[in-house]
Amino acid sequence: MGNLRTKDLSKIGYQNDQLRSLVINIISKHFKHHSKQQLFEMLHQIMADPASFLADEVTGKIAEKIIGKSGNPLFQTHALRDEPVFCKTYGGKWIEHSAKKQMELATLLPISVQGALMADAHMGFGLPIGGVLATDNAVIPYAVGMDIGCRMSLSIIDESDSYIQRFAYQIKQALKNYTHFGMEGGLDIRQEHEVLDSAVFNEIPFLKPLRGKAVRQLGTSGKGNHFVEFGELELLAGNALGLPAKKYTALLAHSGSRGLGSAIAQHYTKLATDSCKLPRQAQQLAWLDMNTEAGQEYWLAMTLAGDYAKACHDRIHSNLLNALGLKAICVVENHHNYAWKDKLADGQEVIIHRKGATPAHSGELGIIPGSMTAPAYLVSGKGSDQALYSASHGAGRAMSRQKAKESMTSSAMKKLLVNAGVTLIGGSVEENPLAYKDIEQVITAQHELIDIHGKFYPRIVRMNKD
C-alpha cells in the first residue's frame, strides 16, 4: 500500500485518531496493491465529498466515520472571517506587536463576537495573556488556558500594618511550613475541602484518576509567577468595602488549579483540535460547540477546576491565618483564565473568555498586582462594555522568562528587594521586578475600566525557587 502512514493521512486532513486507524485497516485489507498516489487521490475524494461514497461497501465505512451515523460530521473545517470583529485595546503603547497580532487572529474566528486587549497584555498560547474574547455559543479551551481558574485572593486582617514588623519571624515560619510551591508534592498535613466530594469527578470518566493528585495538591501553589505574600494594605476613604480608611495587614495569594486544571486543558484542547479544523495559524483556537456533549463536558470540568482553584486559596489562607492566630475581616477574590456566560450591552448572549484578565462588571471587586516589589491595587469595575466588563490581571511581563534570567543576577535582585523593604523566600531572577511592566502605567491606562479603593505593598513574599 505504498507505505501510507498516519502522518501522511494527517497532511491530507485525516486528523482524528480513530479515523486514521480505520483508514489504515481498510487500506491494508482492501487496497494493498494500490500505489501511494492512487490512495492519496481516493482519500482526497472521500474527504472532499464523503456523502457520495456512503453507498460503497468498503469506502462507505470511511465516509460514514467522517460524516457520522447521525449525519453530524466527525470534524468540521472552518474558514476565518475576512475582517476582524470589534476589539478595543487599552495601553497599546506598551503592548508588543506579536500580542496584538495574536488577538487580531482570535477576532477573525467565525464564532467571535467581540474582543478586548488589556493593558498588561503580552504573547501567550491561543489568546495573548490579557486577551478577552466573546464568542457565540462556543468555548475555546486554549483561550481559557492551561491553569484554569487561576485567581487572586486577598484577606484583609484585623491588625494594623505594624503587625508585620513585630511578627516577621513568625510570618516567615508560617509561610515555610504552610505553603508549598512547585509541580509536585504537597503539604505535610492532609487538606480537606468539600470540592473533593464533587460528583463531577465520577460523572466524567476522564476525571476519576485525577482526583488522587487533586487531594495531594490541595492548598498548594504552582511555579512561575504564583505567590503567597503578607503586606500592608492602605484603604482609601469611601472604599467599596465600607471599612475605615487606614492601614491594615493583609495576605495576598496568586495561584490556580494545579495538575487538575492542566490535565483538563490538555484533554479538551485535543478534542477541540480533532473536531474543529482551522487554518494552521489559528488551530490553537479550535473550539467546542456548547450544543455538543464535549462542549457541555468541558464546561463542567472547567467549573470543577475553578472551584478547585478557589479551594486551594481557601486552604492557603485558612492554614496561614490559623497558624498565626489571625482573623480575616474581609476577603476579595476572583478568577482569571476562565470562561463565563454573559450578555453584551445589546442583550446578545455570549461566552466571555478572560485569559489573564480580571472580571470588572460594575461594582465587581478585584486585585491587580504589580510585582514582588511593586504595589497591588484593590479595585472595583466600572462595567465597560467595550472592555467586555474586564480589566488587567496584573502589570504584565515586560520581558520573557529567558530574557529576565539573562539580564538579572541574584545579587542585583537582592539589592532591589532590600531597597523596596521586601523579604523574599524562594523566588528566582525570572520573576525579578524589572521583568514586569510599570504597574502605575498599566493602572493609568485603564482608568475607564476601574475605580481604585486601596493599595497593597508586599513585605514578605513566598514564591517557587526555580
* Contacts for 128 with CB less than 8 Å, ≥ 6 apart: 99, 100, 102, 103, 117, 121, 122, 355
Q: Considering the chain, what is the average pLDDT of its residues? A: 93
The per-residue pLDDT for range 187-227, each reduced to its tens digit, is 988 999 999 999 999 999 999 999 999 999 999 998 989 99
Residue 48 marked in a binding site? no
pLDDT of the residue at 32 = 83
Residue 30 marked in a binding site? no
Mean pLDDT of 234-251: 98
Which parts of 31-135 fold into alpha helices (H)?
Answer: 36-48, 59-67, 97-106
Mean pLDDT of 343-371: 97
Residue 370 marked in a binding site? yes
CA–CA distance, 454 with 378 (Å, rounded to integer): 5
CA–CA distance, 312 with 306 (Å, rounded to integer): 10
Grid cell for residue 110: 467565525
Residue 393 marked in a binding site? yes
Lowest-pLDDT range, 74-88, 169-183, 319-333?
74-88
333: left (phi over 0), alpha (psi -120 to 50) or beta: beta
* Contacts for 236 with CB less than 8 Å, ≥ 6 apart: 245, 452, 453, 454
Active-site residues: which are they?
393
pLDDT of the residue at 3 = 67
Class of the domain covering 149-256+303-331+361-379+393-463: alpha beta
pLDDT of the residue at 6 = 78
CA–CA distance, 438 with 374 (Å, rounded to integer): 8
3-state secondary structure at position 286: coil
pLDDT of the residue at 70 = 45
Task: Provide, for the chain, the percentages of residues in helix, strand and coil under a 3-state DSSP scheme, each rounded to the nearest 5.
Answer: 40, 25, 35
Residue 395 marked in a binding site? yes
The per-residue pLDDT for range 91-108, each reduced to its tens digit, is 999 999 999 999 999 999
Q: Residue ranges of the domains in the chain?
A: 6-74, 149-256+303-331+361-379+393-463
